[in-house]
Amino acid sequence: MKTKWTNPKALLLLAAFAGVLSLFGAASSAHAANLIQNGDFASGDILPGWTESGDMSATQVNTSIPGLGTSPPSGLVYLLSAGSPENTYLTQSFSDVAGQRYNASALLAAFGDNPSFFGLSVTQTGTSNLLGSVSLTNPDTGGAWTPESFSFIGTGNDTLTLTTADAVWYLGVAGVSVTAPGPIPGAGVAGLAALTFFGLYARQRRA
């Protein structure tokens, strides 16, 4: 006998299917969030979000690159370090989910100046427990904006540190972020939901 979608069981089945789609959609949106405040420096300043230390005399937020001769991706401003061999440190603490894997990333543009340095790291807040990092001495991207990233497991409360220095010319950093792994693609969401739907359908037919 064919299932009549106006009976209570059929309506319950359709409601369950809609719920599955809703859950997958919510999970997808949550995964896209950047846990770093002002990671793109769109405020035009270090603040809000970052705590600064070290030599900040030659570090600034900028929207044009007189030394790099190239522009960051559309819509991004960047942190520019120039003219000092001393490190600049920007730190920011954030809350995450303990045991969840996250990706930390930033865009770097540099010319291999000697000495220069770029570092991005995450530690457990209040400890020296290093969760992940990338560090480059005299980095050279040919002036092109290049992604640098690593993954780490959150502890619940962690701190990201951005370290830069360039005594010769210019080094730029843009788009600093900490995100959970990417959202499930739309096709994947639909496929998983469809499998769930047909499983519920078969169960309803047997009832």
Model confidence pLDDT, tens digit, residues 173-187? 999 999 998 555 554
Give the pLDDT score at 13.
47
If you ran DSSP here, which 8-state letter would residue 111 be given?
B
CA 35-38-40 angle, 5° bins: 100
For residues 40-47, give the mean pLDDT. 89
For residues 17-43, give the mean pLDDT. 67
CA dihedral 111, 112, 117, 122 (to 10 degrees): 70
Answer whether residue 196 shows pLDDT above 70.
no
Nearest CA to 91 out of 130, 46, 129 is that of 46
The pTM assigned to this predicted structure is 0.73
**Confidence category of residue 154, pLDDT binned at 50, 70, 90:** very high
What is the pLDDT of the chain when averaged over all its residues? Answer: 79
For residues 156-166, give the mean pLDDT. 97
Give the pLDDT score at 181.
81
Q: How far is CA 48 from each of CA 40, 43, 52, 65, 80, rounded to the nearest angstrom?
A: 11, 8, 11, 22, 17
Q: Which residues contact 207 (CB under 8 A, 6 or more apart)?
A: 9
**Confidence category of residue 56, pLDDT binned at 50, 70, 90:** confident
Nearest CA to 70 out of 154, 170, 207, 206 is that of 170
Model confidence pLDDT, tens digit, residues 84-102? 889 999 999 999 999 999 9
